[in-house]
Chains A and B, each alone.
Chain A
């Protein structure tokens, strides 16, 4: 039977919340990579991934040659995730078999993505992982206990912190304010639209706020944080979850397709996705799949990294870090004006406690790697650091993202989602229309110069 109550987490969140575990694990990987690099070695042996292939024979030979490395990497992931999940209360008897399934499928997805014709058939690993996961969970079905290995949020946080190690801190300083400005304009506008359309349709204001945060701030996580702050009815959060999931899945496919049709620069598309996608995990799937087109499909300007960098700046720096402030402000509005029963006053410390701590790990990773690379010329960076230090971290990051994208598909069971009714649907959808349109104008026109200049 599931335990229903726990005591206050407080500073115990250092080992009870996955944000902190993602930090410990990812920074541990980065430190290990640097120690190996400093001693003249590299972690690239264990950061193995399928090489680009043309014939099936090449693929099989490459896999057989490196099978020992794949087994070692699998053991590494199992150990790292098991220690943390055990501390958070998971049953390893459920996690390990489930993660084994995730890892084997991820190898296959990675292999398909490494095919030199994959782009021609639109077999981008993020989209493939998502589609395969949804197919398995909605048509075949898997036992519920296997959810222990489908930790979407944990995998994406791990991947984002590892991504920090490949993103120069100087870039965050340069483009961060633009990202915050653009994201704030869109977030506030989207929230207001959803809230007031919802009110006009006669919805409870707590539901309107929960829906608004889902569309404007950070998807399901935003909805949950605001639902708690405004004391939403129990059924409000599942309605918002359904709306966010449905639109996030649509946007994973819609935004890259439209960007491709318009031949948008990868940086511009990344910024647009960062502004208009509703969840980190879904946005990374869209940004990475569009970035992968650069250099592989004619007419897509920019570098693959630009899409992911712009997305991260916009979503993580521009939107995610403000969730605590949103929750605090909504709690004040709720307790002061909406709820006359009196529930107490919100404490400003809530801003810290609700802060998505993994973002700290992202910043620290970026600072560490920026300091390490400062003494290298660009030529030395490309010749020494890239293959021995940055490349292997990037490879492990890609694995974490594939675990995440596949897990999104595996946990998206449409028949389990709460029915929303027409009014919440239209309130949320009105926000989606404004969000996508405004996000495009700001990314592709107003701030296009910034998003096309990230590589400088």
Chain B
């Protein structure tokens, strides 16, 4: 964790994790699964690094999202 635990992906402006958005981006996801499942927890897409990752990861590109 970073020293400030508010600097994780969950609070980053590059992070996109709404289920509706994930289903829109990942074509075919709804055929045999769902973004509204427990197994996905809060995972999302990082628009900066182009990664799909846990909301509790962090990196040096953190940029605070508007509350």
Contact = CB atoms under 8 A, between A and B. Distances in A.
B27 A417 contact: yes
A219 B33 contact: yes
Interface string B1-39: 110000010100001111111001111111111111111
Given A2-B18, A17-B38, A89-B20, A220 B53 contact: no
B40 A241 contact: no
A354 B39 CA distance: 4
Contacts of B59: 341, 343
Contact of B32 (A227, A238, A245): A245
Nearest to B45: A234
A236 B2 contact: no
A227 B52 contact: yes
B43 to A, nearest CB: 3
Contact of B27 (A238, A248, A344): A238
Contacts of A152: 30-34
A224 B41 contact: no
Given A227-B52, A344-B1, A344-B58, A412 B40 contact: no
Contact of A350 (B20, B35, B41, B52): B41
B28 A241 contact: yes
A233 B58 contact: no
A101 B55 CA distance: 37
Contact of B53 (A228, A242, A281): A228
B2 A344 contact: yes
Given A89-B20, A228-B43, A154 B31 contact: no
Contacts of A2: 18, 20-21, 24
Nearest to B1: A344
B51 A154 contact: no
Query: Would you call the interface of chain B mostly helix, strand, loop, or mixed?
Result: loop
A147 B30 contact: yes
A353 B39 CA distance: 7
A152 B34 CA distance: 8
Interface residues of B, number: 46
A231 B59 CA distance: 11
A284 B56 CA distance: 34
B33 A238 contact: no
Contacts of B50: 233-235
Contact of B55 (A8, A241, A355): A8
Interface of B: 1-2, 8, 10, 15-21, 24-46, 50-60, 65
A236 B43 CA distance: 14
A237 interface: yes
Nearest to B40: A224
Contacts of B8: 344
A19 B31 contact: no
Contact of B28 (A236, A331, A418): A418
A306 interface: no
Nearest to B10: A8
Nearest to B65: A5
Contacts of B65: 5
A18 B32 CA distance: 14
Given A224-B33, A232-B52, A5 B16 contact: yes
A393 interface: no
A279 B33 contact: yes
A353 B57 contact: no
Nearest to B51: A231
Contacts of A241: 26-29, 31, 33
Nearest to B29: A241
12 contacts: A17-B36, A17-B38, A150-B30, A151-B30, A224-B35, A231-B57, A235-B50, A245-B32, A323-B39, A353-B38, A354-B40, A356-B37
